[in-house]
Structure 1
């Protein structure tokens, strides 16, 4: 590929009574993936909204990342370059030279 692409991620957060919900949307220009995340404040912990935001947002983005990897895995398979046994071991395409 020659050129530059720009993808955007939008994260919306809402909080209600110690529970923070997040929705992350990845827009590639040709497709959109949506992930969900939730964080709950433990009753014995102080309510620190920033922490709930960070946890819920990271979970939503992790959800989107998993979906994006599944899309890529299917594309790799369709191109004939995937593993024949269908397994994909984390961290995906990286190899461990010490193994």
Structure 2
């Protein structure tokens, strides 16, 4: 049996790339084959003294969104196990 889970990551850039306000935000959405939906968020800000390489900010924001999504998935799993076992279950990161 095979189950396919899909993750979509949307990236948003705001601010002026030449100023201190340039920010990249990532929104990751996991959809499981059973219909569960979880979301994760991440941000990256370019230091104004660094060269302008948008891909680096996108990579960092996406990585942070995926890390947040993974943490939320672990919490959901802990909650599901806790409900089955009738005691608090905490999974290690």
- TM-score, normalising length: structure 1: 0.77
Give the structure with the higher percent helix.
Answer: 2
Of residues 20, 26, 34 in structure 2, which corresponds to 1:22? Answer: 26
Match for residue 72 of structure 2 among 53, 67, 75: 67
Cα offset, 1:90, TM superposition: 3.1
Aligned residues: 86
Distance 1:76 1:31 in 2: 16
1:6 matched residue in structure 2? 4
Q: Structure 1: which 4+ aligned runs deviate by more than 4 Å?
A: none
* Alignment match of 1:58 (pick from 63, 75, 81): 63
CA distance, structure 1, for counterparts of residue 90 and residue 31 of structure 2:
25
Inter-partner Cα distance in structure 2 for 1:90 and 1:42: 33
- Where 2:57 maps in the other structure, the secondary structure is helix
Q: Could you list the runs of 5+ residues in structure 2 that have no partner in the other structure?
A: 17-21
What is the TM-score when the length of structure 2 is the normalising length?
0.81
Structure 2 residue aligned with 1:90: 92
